[in-house]
C-alpha cells in the first residue's frame, strides 16, 4: 500500500512547514513559503 506524497502531506502540515521524508516521517523544515515552493 504505497501512498503518494500528497496523501502523506496534507495541506495543514504543508502550511506549517512540514515536509515528507522517504522514511515516512515528518520533519520541521524551512518556512511555509519555501516549503510550498519546494514541494510544488
Largest CA distance in the chain: 31
pLDDT, position 1: 45
Residue-by-residue pLDDT tens, the chain, 40 positions? 455 555 555 555 555 555 555 555 555 554 545 555 554 4
Q: What is the pTM of this model?
A: 0.14
pLDDT, position 40: 44
Burial of 9 (0-12, 13-18, 19+ CB in 10 A): middle
Amino acid at each position: 500500500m504505497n501512498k503518494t506524497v500528497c496523501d502523506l502531506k496534507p495541506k495543514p502540515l504543508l502550511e506549517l512547514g512540514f515536509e515528507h521524508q522517504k522514511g515516512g516521517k515528518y520533519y520541521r523544515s524551512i518556512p511555509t513559503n519555501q516549503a510550498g515552493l519546494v514541494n510544488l
